[in-house]
């Protein structure tokens, strides 16, 4: 499920430098035998950059995006792609309406090859697309990505050489897209496309043969680390694993190539919300799955679970926080629990923790990750802070989505071989130091 930003108040980018460290784990030359260790850092991007206006499958925003710097083509062209565990098809912008937008030029690459609509790739490997691939007038494989806000992007499938971490991966399949957007801003978008990393056959992690990847986003200084490949690093922390949920029968509202886990309960401090298990289970249409998605900032819960969490968090913060009494203000269309905090106040009061209880693992959100200060929003001398859990029902989506804001300082391991996700609470900046990425 592609999840991107839609006109956020500002944008922070976590830049992944992909040429630093390669560790050979065995004598095999396959990409799955190599672990690549990659650092993360942040850069502030002004609002109005083009990427904040790319199509959205879900109607919500996010302000932090994981981005990957690499090169594509022969000779290589530098590109920056958003790392999205909720998307299958990687794509690059090949045409643009603004000179300031970064673009990949296929006519400058001798290794670029368009894919015909009769090829096995087009016929067999696009079945998980929301809209089936088709033939264009040149008999090329044409893909259309459709989004819930009625926007779309489209272009032709092609292959070219991707260079990631100093290693060439020839014949990598991606979309060469003509987005056709106009913009009121001349700010450089600084992103050329999107890197799909879900479980689909055309995702980059599938094409490269990596059976495991991990990332860790620091909540202290926004540094972090990304690992591509397998490694035994038990010194980080013992990982608790939750199995990935898979179904064999296609259902209309179930994304079969998403990283779907089973949410079993929610706690506020030590109080377990009294919700039936059926609230967290997909129904006969597939609606109600729980997806772990790096393409979304915040976490969104279906109505009954969100209402119960909202009410309990409100009840436990009544004496320490002042509620924003403004029924007309709903942050990003889905977050209707907000508070007024004196602008001169340097820290938030002690807040109750919120724990998401998965089958076999638990993710606990605490402190400042529970409230988000809304940029530019004030009431008198108070700033506005909103609860970082939103209501999926207000977005007209039929799923739980675990965003990366709540994955800060959590080691996230995506184990495709054993079909599971591992979690552990860690200091991501310290983990980066252990890998030699920071002083």
Tokens at 82, concatenated: 């958003």
Residues 6+ apart with CB under 8 A from 17: 38, 39, 41, 69
CB atoms within 10 A of CB 353: 15
**Whether 22 contacts 165, CB under 8 Å:** yes
Do the Cβ atoms of 392 and 401 come closer than 8 Å?
Answer: yes
The closest of 205, 292, 199 to 246, measured between CA atoms, is: 199
* 107 Cα distance to chain centroid: 31
- Neighbour tally for 189: CB within 10 Å: 24
State both tokens at 427: 């200091």
Angle (CA) 133-139-142 rounded to 5° is 25
Catalytic one of 160, 293, 336, 409: 293
| HSE-up of residue 344 (Cα within 13 Å, Cβ side) | 2
- The token pair at 404 is 């990366």
Known catalytic residue at 293: yes
Distance in angstroms (rounded) separating the CA atoms of residues 378 and 340: 8
Residues marked as catalytic: 84, 293
């Amino acid at each position: 499920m592609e999840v991107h930003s839609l006109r956020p108040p500002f944008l922070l980018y976590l830049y992944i430098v992909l040429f630093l460290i390669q560790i050979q784990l065995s004598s095999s030359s396959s990409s799955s035998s190599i672990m690549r260790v990659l650092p993360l850092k942040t850069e502030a991007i002004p609002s109005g950059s083009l990427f904040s206006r790319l199509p959205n499958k879900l109607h919500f925003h996010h302000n932090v995006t994981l981005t990957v710097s690499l090169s594509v083509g022969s000779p290589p062209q530098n590109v920056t792609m958003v790392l999205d565990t909720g998307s299958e098809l990687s794509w690059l912008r090949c045409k643009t309406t603004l000179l300031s937008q970064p673009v990949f030029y296929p006519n400058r690459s001798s290794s670029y090859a368009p894919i015909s609509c009769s090829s096995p790739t087009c016929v067999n490997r696009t079945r998980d697309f929301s809209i089936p691939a088709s033939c264009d007038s040149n008999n090329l494989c044409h893909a259309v990505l459709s989004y819930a806000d009625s926007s779309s992007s489209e272009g032709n499938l092609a292959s070219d050489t991707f260079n990631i971490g100093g290693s060439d991966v020839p014949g990598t399949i991606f979309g060469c897209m003509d987005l056709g957007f106009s913009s009121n801003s001349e700010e450089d978008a600084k992103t050329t496309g999107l890197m799909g990393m879900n479980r689909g056959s055309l995702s980059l992690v599938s094409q490269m043969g990596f059976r495991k990847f991990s990332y860790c986003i620091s909540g202290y200084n926004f540094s972090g680390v990304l690992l591509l490949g397998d490694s035994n690093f038990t010194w980080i922390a013992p990982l608790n694993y939750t199995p990935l949920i898979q179904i064999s029968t296609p259902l209309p509202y179930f994304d079969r190539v998403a990283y779907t886990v089973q949410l079993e309960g929610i706690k506020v401090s030590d109080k377990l919300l009294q919700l039936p298990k059926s609230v967290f289970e997909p129904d006969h249409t597939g609606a109600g799955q729980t997806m772990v998605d790096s393409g979304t900032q915040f976490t969104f819960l279906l109505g009954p679970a969100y209402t119960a969490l909202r009410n309990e968090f409100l009840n436990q913060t009544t004496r320490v926080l002042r509620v924003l009494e403004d029924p007309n203000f709903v942050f990003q269309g889905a977050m209707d629990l907000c508070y007024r905090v004196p602008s001169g106040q340097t820290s938030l009061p002690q807040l109750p923790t919120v724990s998401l209880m998965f089958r076999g693992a638990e993710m606990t959100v605490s402190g400042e990750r529970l409230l988000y200060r809304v940029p530019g929003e004030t009431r008198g001398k108070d700033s506005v802070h909103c609860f970082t859990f939103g209501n999926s029902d207000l977005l007209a989506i039929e799923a739980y989505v675990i965003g990366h804001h709540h994955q800060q300082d959590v080691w996230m391991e995506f184990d495709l071989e054993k079909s599971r996700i591992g979690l552990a609470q860690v200091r991501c900046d310290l983990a980066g130091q252990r890998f030699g990425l920071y002083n």
